[in-house]
């Protein structure tokens, strides 16, 4: 079985191929803690909510946490503040394990490939992977899969740019980081990630911006919604300027076939007029490459997971043929 796993800062998503359909699961990386009182316990039991007990607290996860936080006016806690695994919080790591188990079914055959993206904008090509990446790799391996890391930029290019020979620039505006990948024929040539870009503050104050409607944290709260375009333009300018300088240093503009397609995904891309604003910013920066098309993913939730699934499917096929 092939499966793709998109581990974001605020949401985990998985996609797998069953018969003639794609089955997705997603889970929010948040939790809510209630005091372990008889009243709270009875309330939760009567409502049928599944909760965990942790000392003096009762813990609710994911969407349920958002609902009860809205009802009881409780702060929602982020499991991955800033996209990083809290190393000094063993309970948070246990909850993360539960969530990975929830979105990732057990592998049908040991060694099935699971391509995954990890939050935090880590460089997945370095030899010594950071703790966060190894943590998630271990969780995936415990489910019976063979974890293969890819970057969000690569995943979104795989998902959206099949007509361009899987070549182009993939940009993922995540809740914690903005990751940009330069992909040629499915292979990542260069990448860069930026933490202090669009949604940095909303990530830190996830309890303030997470809405109970099931959407990602909105980068602009109610006060700033009127200035949404302005915020987007400024944030895009800062991010793309930094990305241009970074990629120019890596001289990637010479590697790409031109014109180059660009594909964007993430919560900000669902804002009305995002494509227009992005094109304006891009043109003003004068990147040293010709742009063919600018695409915005139609499914901002599962596009990265779909790219992971495609890569997993290809890796599984490759392994199967090799074994044959």
Partner 1 sequence: MGRSRSLGCCLLLSAAVVAGEASAQGPRSNSKTITWQSPQNSQDIQVGILGEIAAPGVYRVDAASLSVQALVRRAGGLTEEASLSIRIVRQERVVQNLFFSPQADSPLMPGDVLIVESKRALSAMSKVLDGRRPASPVVPAANSPADPTGVQVAYVNVLDAPVVVKLHLDDARLERVVQMLGQPIELTGAVKVIDPQKASHTVAQVASGTLRLTDGSVLIFPKGSINHSRLPALPKPHASEIVTGALPSMIGGPFGQAPELRSVGQMAPLISLPNRDSTSALNTVAAPVIAPPSTIPVAPPVPQFDPQAAPMPIVSGRPRIATLPFTGAAPLRNSSSLGPAESDPIAPPPQDEPQRPSVLENSASRSGPARNTHRSNVAPNDSSIESSLTEPTEPAGASPFTLLQMFGIFAGVSMLIGAALLARRHFDKQATAALPTDTRRDIANPAPASIPGPTPTNSEISHDAAVAAELTPPPATPIEQALDSAEFVSGNKLDRLIRNDLPLREEAVAFPESIVLQGRLASRPIHRIDRAAEHAIGAGPHLATSADSSARASQEAVAMELDAHPSSEARISGPHFGRRRRDTRPITIGDAARAASATPHEAVPPTPLADALRQLEGDRPS
Among residues 197, 203, 159, 158, the alpha carbon closest in space to that of 179 is found at: 197
Tallying the residues shown for the chain, one arrives at 324
By C-beta, is 100 or 118 nearer to partner 1? 100
Helices 131-142, 90-103: axis angle to 10 degrees equals 50
Q: How many chain residues bind partner 1 (CB under 8 A)?
A: 91
CB of 84 to partner 1, least distance (A): 10
315 binds partner 1 (CB under 8 A): yes
**Which pair of tokens denotes residue 51?**
């909760």
Residue 67 touching partner 1 (CB under 8 A): no
User: Looking at 39, 90, 127, 272, which residue binds partner 1 (CB under 8 A)?
Assistant: 90
Residues of span 111-170 touching partner 1 by CB under 8 A: 158-159, 162, 165-166
According to DSSP, the β-strands at 112-117 and 178-184 are: unpaired
Number of alpha carbons in the 13 Å side-chain half-sphere of residue 236: 23
Angle value at C-alpha 307, between 11 and 122, nearest 5 degrees: 60
Decide if 214 contacts 47 (C-beta within 8 A).
no
For the CB of residue 131, give the shortest distance to partner 1 in the complex, in Å: 17
Q: Does 291 bind partner 1 (CB under 8 A)?
A: no
- Smallest separation, CB 95 to partner 1 (Å): 7
In whole angstroms, how close is the CB of 102 to partner 1 at the nearest point? 4
Listed residue (307, 188, 194) closest to 255, CA to CA:
188
**Binding status of residue 321 toward partner 1 by CB under 8 A:** yes
- Asked if 23 and 103 count as a contact pair (C-beta separation under 8 A), the reply is no
Stretch that binds partner 1, among 73-81, 121-129, 139-147, 271-279 (CB under 8 A): 73-81
Q: Closest by alpha carbon to 307, among 1, 3, 73, 59?
A: 3
Contact status: 242 vs partner 1 (CB under 8 A): no
Query: In Å, what is the CA distance from 207 to each residue of 58, 193, 317?
Result: 18, 24, 43
Q: Is 81 in the site for partner 1 (CB under 8 A)?
A: yes
Residue of 25, 7, 242 whose CA lies nearest to 135: 7
**Nearer Cβ to partner 1, position 155 or 180?**
155
Count Cβ atoms below 10 Å from residue 313 Cβ, excluding itself: 18
Per-residue x/- mask for partner 1, residues 189 to 218, rule CB under 8 A?
A: -------x-x-xxxxxx-x-----------
Say whether residue 240 binds partner 1 (CB under 8 A).
Answer: no
User: Residue 243 or 309: which CB sits closer to partner 1?
Assistant: 309
- Sign (positive/negative) of CA torsion 139, 142, 143, 145? positive
Task: Show the site string, 38-57: x = touches partner 1 by CB under 8 A, - = not.
Answer: ------------xxxxxxxx
From the list 125, 230, 276, 293, which residue makes contact with partner 1 (rule: CB under 8 A)? 230
The answer to whether 222 contacts partner 1 (rule: CB under 8 A) is: no
Kindly tell me which residue out of 96, 103, 192, 262 binds partner 1, with binding defined by CB under 8 A.
103
Q: Which of 91, 129, 141, 242 binds partner 1 (CB under 8 A)?
A: 91
Sign of CA dihedral 260, 265, 268, 272: positive
Q: Which residue has the tokens 């007029």?
A: 273
Stretch that binds partner 1, among 74-82, 116-124, 126-134, 139-147 (CB under 8 A): 74-82
299 binds partner 1 (CB under 8 A): yes
Among the listed residues 26, 143, 267, 295, the single contact to partner 1 using CB under 8 A: 26
CB 8 within 8 A of CB 305: no
């Amino acid at each position: 079985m092939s499966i793709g796993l998109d581990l974001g800062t605020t949401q985990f998503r998985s996609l797998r191929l069953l018969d003639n359909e794609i089955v997705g699961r997603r889970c929010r990386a948040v939790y809510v803690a209630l005091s372990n009182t008889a009243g709270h316990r009875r309330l939760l039991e009567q409502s049928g909510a599944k909760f965990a007990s942790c000392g003096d607290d009762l813990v609710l996860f994911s969407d349920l946490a958002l609902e009860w936080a809205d009802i009881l006016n409780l702060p929602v806690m982020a499991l991955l503040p800033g996209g990083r695994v809290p190393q000094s919080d063993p309970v948070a790591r246990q909850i993360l394990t539960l969530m990975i188990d929830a979105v990732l079914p057990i592998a049908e055959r040991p060694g099935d490939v699971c391509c995954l993206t990890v939050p935090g904008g880590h460089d997945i090509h370095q030899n010594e992977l950071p703790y966060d990446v190894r943590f998630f790799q271990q969780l995936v391996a415990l489910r019976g899969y063979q974890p293969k890391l890819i970057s969000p930029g690569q995943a979104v290019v795989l998902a959206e740019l099949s007509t361009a020979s899987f070549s182009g620039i993939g940009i993922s505006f995540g809740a914690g980081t903005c990751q940009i990948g330069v992909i040629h024929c499915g292979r990542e040539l260069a990448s860069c990630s930026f933490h202090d870009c669009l949604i940095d503050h909303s990530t830190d104050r996830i309890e303030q911006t997470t809405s109970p409607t099931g959407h990602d944290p909105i980068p602009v709260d109610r006060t700033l919604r009127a200035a949404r375009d302005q915020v987007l333009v400024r944030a895009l300018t800062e991010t793309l300027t930094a990305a241009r300088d970074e990629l120019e240093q890596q001289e990637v503009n010479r590697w790409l076939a031109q014109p180059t397609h660009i594909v964007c995904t993430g919560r900000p891309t669902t804002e009305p007029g995002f494509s227009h604003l992005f094109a304006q910013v891009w043109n003003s920066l004068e990147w040293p490459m010709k742009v063919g098309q600018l695409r915005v993913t139609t499914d901002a939730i599962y596009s990265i997971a779909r790219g992971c699934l495609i890569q997993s499917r290809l890796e599984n096929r490759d392994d199967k043929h090799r074994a044959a």
